[in-house]
Amino acid sequence: MSHLFLMRLVCTAAVIMLLGSVGIARADRFDDDLLALINRYRSTKGLKALASSPLYNDLAREHSRAMQEQDRMSHDGFEGRFDRAAAAGARSCVENVAWNHLTPQSLFDGWRRSPGHNRNMLEKKINRAGISKAGPYVTFFACY
């Protein structure tokens, strides 16, 4: 083996160990862990837990992927004639988006400190939610 190959191998192993030690979550675990954090927070405020909705997860996934493809964070398509809120078939919906958080806890903490995002997580009327991460982009979509 060449010296250069060994150096690359050692560096790759170090990066993998470092990423594992800071708790970077896989996308599917990220989604589940973020919903658990939101539900735990809601319970401290006397609010009901949000049920995971397959439809809302699909809508959140579609939006997260669109943000990833456009390489920009947005609420494009949330409201309007052909939008996520209408596709959900619900009376009212809320949405939080985020970018570039390595852990669900980091993202949750950011939303909790933001009045608008915090208000959405604590909306009393919502009862179902979908969360999806695509690359660095995350969408939380919840309705009643």
The pLDDT value given to residue 9: 32
The answer to whether residues 67 and 132 touch, using CB atoms and an 8 Å cutoff, is no
pLDDT on residue 109 = 98
Which pLDDT belongs to residue 35?
98
144 CB burial (10 A radius; 0-12, 13-18, 19+): middle
Q: Check residue 20 and give its pLDDT.
A: 41
Per-residue pLDDT of the chain (144 residues; tens, 9 = 90+): 443 333 333 333 333 333 343 444 455 799 999 999 999 999 999 999 999 999 999 999 999 999 999 999 999 888 765 689 899 999 999 999 999 999 999 999 999 999 999 999 999 999 999 999 999 999 999 999
